[in-house]
Amino acid sequence: MTRIIAGTFRGRRLKVPNGAEVRPTTDRVKEAVFNILGPLDDLHALDLFAGSGGLGIEALSRGVSETCFVEPSPVAGRILKENLASLRLDDGWRLLAMPALRALRLLKKESLQFDLVFLDPPYKTNYLAEVLEPGMLDTVTSPACRVVAESLAAAEWRVPQGWETITERSYGTTSVRILRRGR
């Protein structure tokens, strides 16, 4: 189990799948990230490696008007839906049950623009680098978009061209970088 840190659903618990399929962001990291982000009222968020939905649901609890969750795992997707149902969230969210790159192509076709993107892929994959290839996020993000990228603290990856790091913090074995479009 994990919990919602603040906002409308503060203190509510969220289910997490058993096993190593999903590694939820710890409460400590979540709290730090959202304190850095500040007010989120009326933003549109994309939780690209959603797992059980902890980051996207936290964003909804803190005022984001809509979150698009992307999660290819049927097990994690089912639990994400259960978590949303337990909060009685009938709208303000969408689940795309597909891999991240496929979802980005679909969202590009739909001309959707997000103000906040969460990237918390499984640590032992190359998914973060694939999503951060130049141009991949550009077509689905607003000019003022911020990207929260989580990885192993020892992992090295490049900030995509046209983006810059606002802040980088480490929390134990977890590293978080918050990016924005370059100025």
CB 70 within 8 A of CB 107: no
Query: What's the confidence (pLDDT) of residue 19?
Result: 66
Tokens of 16: 């997490």
Query: What's the confidence (pLDDT) of residue 97?
Result: 97
Round the average pLDDT of the chain to a whole number and report it: 91
130, amino acid identity: E
Lowest-confidence segment of 12-21, 43-52, 97-106, 147-156 by average pLDDT = 12-21
CB 43 within 8 A of CB 148: no
Cβ-defined contacts of 107-112 (< 8 Å, 24+): 107/46, 107/68, 107/140, 108/139, 108/140, 112/44, 112/68, 112/140
- Quote the CA–CA distance of 88 and 4 in Å, as a whole number: 14
Query: What's the confidence (pLDDT) of residue 47?
Result: 97
Closest CA to 4 of 89, 123, 74: 89
Backbone angles phi, psi at 45, to 5 degrees: -115, 150
Tokens of 47: 């939780």
pLDDT tens-place string over residues 85-126: 999 988 899 999 999 999 999 999 999 999 999 999 887 777
3-class state of residue 76 by DSSP: helix
For residue 112, with 0-12 CB atoms within 10 Å meaning exposed, 13-18 middle and 19 or more buried, which class applies? middle
| Percent of the chain predicted with pLDDT > 70 | 97
**Residue 3, CA distances (Å) to 54, 74, 123 in order:** 8, 22, 21
What's the pTM?
0.94
Asked whether the predicted pLDDT for residue 34 surpasses 70, the reply is yes
pLDDT tens-place string over residues 122-139: 877 778 888 888 888 999
pLDDT tens-place string over residues 15-25: 998 765 667 88
